[in-house]
Amino acid sequence: MAIVSLSNSETPTSTAEYTLYEAGPDADVPIVKFVAHNDTGAASTYYAKIYSASGTPKSVQPVRTVNRYSAHVPQSVVGCVIPKNGRLVVGVGSGNSISFTVSGEV
């Protein structure tokens, strides 16, 4: 297994849930790095969930505020596993506010 980028500074443009990564059918994907960074002039919020292949969500980061021009590295997400055919999703309090960088083992 190699550590690869799952999401490189992806920025959701709306408040709807946004899929950062969808695992394939062959293997689970452990998350080794997760950073939420806010490069705007206003604070914003985000949350993160992992969905199973059947669509059942598991919250891995409750709603968190990221202040303007700062980053958050939630240890609650690092070490989580995206299951086969599962998805890592985020939601933001305001579109175009928070970007996400994620790495995992595939």
Q: Is pLDDT above 90 for 1? A: no
**CATH number of 65's domain:** 2.60.120
> What is the extent of the structural domain holding 101?
3-105
Give every CB contact of residue 18 below 8 A, 6+ residues apart in sequence.
10, 12, 89, 90, 91, 92
**What does the chain come to in residues?**
106
- pLDDT recorded at residue 47: 98
User: Per residue in 51-102, pLDDT tens?
Assistant: 999 999 999 999 999 999 999 999 999 999 999 999 999 999 999 999 999 9
Counting the structural domains of the chain, the total is: 1
Q: ∠10-5-67 over CA atoms, to 5°?
A: 40
User: Per residue in 8-55, pLDDT tens?
Assistant: 999 999 999 999 999 999 999 999 999 999 999 999 999 999 999 999
Neighbours of 61 (CB within 10 A): 19
Q: Rounded CA gap, 27 and 81, in Å? A: 10
Q: ∠67-7-14 over CA atoms, to 5°?
A: 55
Q: Are 94 and 14 in contact (CB under 8 A)?
A: no
